Amino acid sequence: MRPKIIKDVLISERAIQKKTQELGRKISKDYRGKELVIVAIMRGAMLFLADLVRHISVPAAIDFMFVTSYKKASKSSGAIRIIKDLKEDIEDKYVLIVEDIVDTGLTFSYLKKYLKAHNPKGIKICTLLDKPSRRLVRVKPNYVGFTIPDEFVVGYGLDYLELYRNLPYIATLTDKAKGRLKGNF
Ligand code: 5GP
């Protein structure tokens, strides 16, 4: 049974599985012969990462970063804070950032600058979802699962007030549930 906060399933479990396979195959082709470090941005990317890497056939180190943004306090300031940093050395390696969603683009743009300072050979981003209509900075993800409209979504790693990350699909919220988000997003 679907939780009460859900309005519609926007992207089904099946569609996500098909897409992760497609993306994994493409990434495997593009990174053949390159030293790859996958950097997953937590907590949102956890389910996507786990499914995606199963379809990546080239050797890859997997690392995690935990970040938070202060979007709530001030929409445009976009201050990002690193809670947990990289463990792997990325110098002279190819970094692929794995994100749940690129929304304003502030997180991606911050991370790109931050990781660049560690002198990798290249930095690209693979995001499950892209919400280009909400950009505050000009960034373009290299691999995109699904482009979605300006709508708050939950499930498959994305939370609603820290809950529902475990839903196997991506869904939209009822108006009532959206109302409870005000001031939190
Ligand atoms: P950005 O810095 O690109 O604005 O935002 C990135 C982060 O904001 C994402 O990693 C995600 O945690 C959060 N976010 C953006 N849009 C949504 C959404 O529709 N639903 C949820 N649950 N989180 C979102």
Report the alpha-carbon distance of residue 73 to residue 75 in Å, rounded. 7
Residue 142 has pLDDT above 70, yes or no: yes
pLDDT of residue 184: 64
H or E element, residue 38: strand 36-42
Confidence of residue 74 (pLDDT cuts 50, 70, 90): very low
- Strand, helix or coil at 39? strand
Confidence of residue 182 (pLDDT cuts 50, 70, 90): confident
Q: What domains sit in the chain, N to C, each tagged with a CATH number?
A: 13-151 (3.40.50.2020)
Report the alpha-carbon distance of residue 176 to residue 178 in Å, rounded. 5
**Residue 91 has what DSSP assignment?**
T
Confidence of residue 1 (pLDDT cuts 50, 70, 90): confident
- 130 belongs to the catalytic site: no
Catalytic residue among 103, 130, 150, 159: 103
The CA dihedral of 160, 163, 168, 172, to the nearest 10 degrees, is -20
Please write the tens of the pLDDT for every residue from 81-132. Answer: 999 999 999 999 999 999 999 999 999 999 999 999 999 999 999 999 999 9
**Nearest ligand 1 atom, CA 110:** 2
CB of 146 within 6 A of ligand 1: the answer is no
